[in-house]
Copies of this chain bind each other. A is one copy, B any other.
């Protein structure tokens, strides 16, 4: 039997290893048949111009692993005792399609959910994309973070070498506690915080804590789609409660027991409505009366441009009913994958246990850098970003007014996107979005922007416009494309929206009003 080898010197793999691997693969691949005699080590060594010891070592390994067997007369044969199933089946791989006839059906996949596609920089087809909730990468505090990382990477590197606190680095939890107290009115002990891989992991932890198949979860209608997907993936049933211009209509909360209610009071996703104090307090009372927990997702509350500072539900609650989740994905960047959850004391142990069992804790580098940043430049960074986002938001609003006349725009007081209720005469959202995209501009319907709609009155008359990642010029060009797209569709006779389903007056921030007026006067 001839053994064909392709040996490379200086490849980083020793020659004996190459001999071993290649003969093994040929046995498993069937090129070297069972019982076939292989060349004596002396012969093979001469043939390939390698040392005999190299071949002997490789053969020894193959013998000890059972690929080869020796026979009287020092003959070496391919083992005849290898299980048949593992042989003659083509190249080594890990691919079901290459498999021989299947004996038993594989264990079925029980996971059913299908998560949404994530927005990625450079991955969008649109040159200008009004994707909601994406920070401006030009304003990423790279220099500060880099400084922090470099300073923290000192020997001995036990923090990188070992596991950390599964609940998160204490210094980071202290920084988060300080921020939450000052900015969100939440008095919290660092022990109540668990650092998570964004809001997403926090929602999974809550789901594992409470959701048995069939459990009921109250969500806003419309709501953040990914949250509904997480709960549903654990078998929950969604109980949607309608959202009006003041956020979730708490008078419609179910009377019967539900496990959880997932809410976005600061800047309702997707409508942008802000839940007033009275409703906040009623919501907490409802939770207290029914025993449900509230999950308060404060995803973009770092950006508040007008009005009084909002107190979080978690800052109002005194009954241990609120689980607060926040993230650095919006205030700094999603690539850090760092967020957190704040839980009532009686849930701390379980939340930490689940985090431990799920991932043994969060990576150290991001935590130490963020802890440093929270002590230092974070507030300044937020002030700068807030100013700049408010500016592009104003440009967006005034351009919309200039192009389409006075508009009903929701969610301008805070956050990173607005909801635009299309006025009568404009095309319906899906056709409009598609046409706008032909100009290289991405705008989003509730569904394409990441919301789940349970037959609300918004889906057929609104667009979501995220402005935070765009420059003023991009916004001006984007709105121009919207105007052109509307004209195109009107000239083609595409059916327009006829009635404005709601008569809520336009709600514009004063600065935007002034801009709009100026625009009209021009």
Contacts and interface: CB of A to CB of B under 8 A. Distances in A.
A198 B362 CA distance: 10
B198 A292 contact: no
**In the assembly, how many copies of this chain are there?**
2
Contacts of A233: 208, 357
B187 A93 contact: yes
Contacts of A335: 157, 159-164, 363-365
B61 A309 contact: yes
Contacts of A65: 276-277, 308, 311
Contacts of A226: 357
A379 B12 contact: yes
A469 to B, nearest CB: 8
A361 B197 CA distance: 8
A86 B187 CA distance: 15
Give the bracket for the number of chain A residues in contact with chain B.
Answer: 35 or more
Interface string A98-124: 111011111111110111001111100
Interface stretch (A315-323, A394-402, A494-502): A315-323
A62 B308 contact: yes
Interface string A260-288: 10000000000000001110011011001
Most chain B C-beta atoms within 10 Å of own C-beta, residue among A66, A137, A161, A204? A161
A49 interface: no
A156 B140 contact: yes
A2 interface: no
Most chain B C-beta atoms within 10 Å of own C-beta, residue among A28, A160, A200? A160
Nearest to A334: B163
B345 A95 contact: yes
A360 B337 contact: yes
A452 interface: no
A379 B11 CA distance: 12
27 contacts: A17-B309, A20-B309, A21-B309, A62-B308, A64-B308, A83-B281, A85-B284, A86-B281, A91-B187, A93-B318, A94-B318, A96-B344, A100-B318, A104-B257, A107-B210, A111-B208, A113-B353, A118-B163, A119-B163, A142-B160, A161-B332, A162-B333, A197-B359, A229-B357, A335-B363, A335-B364, A337-B362
A307 interface: yes
A491 interface: no
A67 to B, nearest CB: 7
Interface string A321-360: 1101000000011111110001011110010011011111
